[in-house]
Amino acid sequence: MRQVDVIVPVYNVEKYLKRCLESLINQTLSSEKYRVLLVDDGSTDGSPTICQKYADENPNLVEYLPKANGGLSDARNYGLQHVDASYVLFIDSDDYVESGMLERMLEKTCNGQKKVVECNFFWQYQDRMAKDVVTGYDSIEDYLVKGRVVAWNKLYRTDWLKQCGITFPKGLFYEDQCFFFELMPFLESIDEVAVDEVCEVHYVQRNDSISYQNTSRLADLFKIYVRILNFHEEKGWIKTYHDELEYRFVRNLLGNVMLRKIRPIKDGKVKRDLVVKVMEFIDIHFKGWKRNKYIKWDSPQNIYLKIFNKLILKMLII
């Protein structure tokens, strides 16, 4: 049985795809121990030709899976249907990885005992890169508070993932948040999670990346958060993990969405309307957020919360 299947969703990334695939086919791990699944989500550029070329040249290592366009979540879910290795890994097609990634991460699985193995990564900019590093987590609660909410820096044990029944939400952006916060509470102990402290993935920051066009997708973020809260309610987890979810969601809404996405908008009316929507959402779902036990008002990580009240007034007035 193969040890790992790597799912690579592909959509109109001909400029970046070869670099990604070269990093995956040139791993130090023996080629019979892993497979690369290229899920082409209806690309209209040269990506399908590149995928087919790599599959033809590496028939025992690369499998090409073309499909009709359905979005990132649909492509990942389609790839999952073809997984039969012990572990599965997602890699985005515009990113690339270190040559020893698979070998090092598989070593951390402790012969299949770990359900999740997470690695560190680089924020890869055009002219520089920065490390994103953790050394471990103390509890499942700690993982929900501090874990990196991305799908592509983790090995998932296949039998456990399929038993949990968690897939990516089709038709919505912010799919990684849904996947992370719905899946990780299925862990029975933080001992089932291992951390590869090496920075293994180069997370490429592109000017044309979907991730930087988020203000028009605020409704999707609200839908994702409501879905996660409802899921936890159905599973009976909401009391156990309410504070963790509240902290992560409010911190993202006030920090990432408000300060990084909404604040730079020059149209005053558009800005005010978005601010009102965010505050209404928080007021409905997280009325007591200021008393959340994870908000340390004097910590560097939460300094923006300390100045939030003054800043929000300026954003509403300007």
Q: Which residues, including other chains, have CB under 8 Å from residue 113's CB and lie 6 or more apart? A: 192
- Return the minimum-mean-pLDDT range out of 80-89, 112-121, 202-211: 202-211
Cα-to-chain-centroid distance, residue 153: 8
Residue 143 and residue 31 share a domain: yes
Interatomic CA distance for residues 269 and 272, integer angstroms: 5
pLDDT score for 213: 44
Structural domain that includes position 237: 213-317
SS3 254: helix
Q: What is the identity of the amino acid at 181?
A: F
Mean pLDDT of the residues in the chain: 92
Q: Mark whether 199 and 277 lie in a shared domain.
A: no
158 versus 314: which is more confidently predicted?
158
Q: What is the CATH number of the domain that holds 76?
A: 3.90.550.10
Give the DSSP per-residue string, 178-194. HHHHHHGGG-S-GGGEE
> What are phi and psi for residue 224, nearest 5 degrees?
-65, -45
* Same-domain pairing of 204 and 129: yes
Is the pLDDT assigned to residue 252 strictly greater than 80?
yes
Question: Residue 203: its pLDDT value, please?
Answer: 98
Q: Are residues 85 and 186 in the same domain?
A: yes
Which of 193, 209, 225 is the endpoint of a domain? Answer: 209
183 and 227 assigned to the same domain: no
Last residue of one domain, picked from the residues 152, 178, 209: 209
- Compute the average pLDDT of residues 83-93: 99
Q: What average pLDDT does the segment 34-39 reach?
A: 99
DSSP annotation of 108: T
Say which residue, 98 or 256, is predicted with more confidence.
98
Percent of the chain with pLDDT over 70: 90
- Render pLDDT for 172-216 as a digit per residue (tens, 0 to 9): 999 999 999 999 999 999 999 999 999 999 999 987 544 434 466
Last residue of a domain, one of 209, 238, 271: 209
d(CA 42, CA 70): 8
Q: What is the pLDDT of residue 303?
A: 57
pLDDT of residue 297: 58
What pLDDT does 259 receive? 80
Same-domain pairing of 120 and 149: yes
Helices (H), 81-211: 101-107, 140-146, 158-164, 175-183
Of 79-83, 92-96, 244-248, 310-314, the range with the lowest mean pLDDT is 310-314
Question: What is the C-alpha separation between 161 and 178, in angstroms, rounded?
Answer: 14
Phi–psi pair at 34, nearest 5 degrees? -150, 165
In this structure, the answer to whether residues 107 and 41 fall within a common structural domain is yes
Exposure string (b/e) for 158-182, b if CB count within 10 Å is 16 or more? bebbeebebbbbeebbbbbbbbbbb
Tally the domains of the chain.
Answer: 2
Q: Once rounded to an integer, what is the mean pLDDT over residues 19-44?
A: 99
Residue 301's pLDDT is 58
pLDDT of residue 279: 94
| Residue 256: strand, helix, or coil | helix
Judgement on whether residues 200 and 244 belong to the same structural domain of the protein = no
Same-domain check for residues 143 and 99:
yes
| pLDDT value of position 210 | 43
How distant, in Å, are the alpha carbons of 10, 242, 275, 290, 302 from that of 254? 32, 18, 9, 12, 10
**What is the pLDDT at residue 212?**
38
- Residues contacting residue 132 through CB under 8 Å, at least 6 positions apart: 120, 121, 122, 123, 148, 199, 203
Do residues 41 and 141 share a domain?
Answer: yes
Q: pLDDT value at position 268? A: 86
Judgement on whether residues 308 and 257 belong to the same structural domain of the protein:
yes
Based on the domain organization, do 201 and 309 belong to the same domain? no
**Tens of pLDDT along 264-289?**
888 888 888 898 999 999 999 999 99
Residue-wise pLDDT for 89-105, tens only, equals: 999 999 999 999 999 99
